[in-house]
Structure 1
Amino acid sequence: MVPPSRSDDFDPPGRSPSTRIAGTVERVCVVGVRLSIPLLLLVVSSFAAYLVGGYVLTSLGVWSPGYTFLSLPEDVYFAWFSFISGGTICLGTGSLIGLAFLTEGEGQIHNEISILASFVGFGFGAGVMRITYATVLASLS
């Protein structure tokens, strides 16, 4: 004899593998956006302090580095700050692109202007990383 089923029992439907993958990608993109904002503020403020402080100190004659200040092949600090800034920009804009394409036209994040701006930002960050990677790799060895 089978016990009678209660009508208030709920069996949640099983999640398909593609739904689980999309959920994981969405969580990674949200974490990327949330991580990139404070990281970008920290990196850009440090980079600006190096640029302005180095220029002022060099102009006043207080600091004279043994390398050409703000030279891509010689100034390792400039190359590292640029590389990290480009990577942070790529992290944030790439995450925004991923979120925009996951929403399928729903919500505030998915419109042509935000997607275009994200691609421009991603290209800028990747370009900065491309220009500075040789100096960064040379400084590691």
Structure 2
Amino acid sequence: MVDIADSLQCLFAASVTEQAESYRIEIPREEVEHGELDVGEFYRVGVLTHTAASSPSESPDAAPNAAPQEPQAPPVDEGEVREVTIETLGEEGDGIAKVERGYIVIVDGGQLGETVEVDIHAVRENVAFAEIVADDS
């Protein structure tokens, strides 16, 4: 599994396109409008490779020049209650858990190493926000 730095601002899939004397990777509009990116700021960019199984253009059954697959929907829904384990802490002390496909859930008040039941209250393409469900016992 890939280690995710606490300073990660966004995570998305994109292709590289050629433009004049350079190459371009476009950031989806929603990452700026709903994320923590600011136009005109400088960011470090990491590039992760993919396996042939995750790339339709490299799959033996794929048609030549096939369009990339649409991104999968987040594996959680708003209002969903589920159990997660806090794997690390964010810069502001929030718990960070990962669920299916490495999808990140930020848990308000989560403590490192604890397994908690959370209520998902906001879902974005690459991250969800949750609160620990109150213990009535």
Answer yes or no: same fold by TM over 0.5: no
The structure, 1 or 2, with the larger RCO (C-alpha pairs under 8 Å, 6+ apart) is 1
In our comparison, the structure showing a higher alpha carbon Rg is 1
Task: Give the structure-1-normalised TM-score.
Answer: 0.21
Decide which structure has greater helix share: 1
Decide which structure has greater strand share: 2
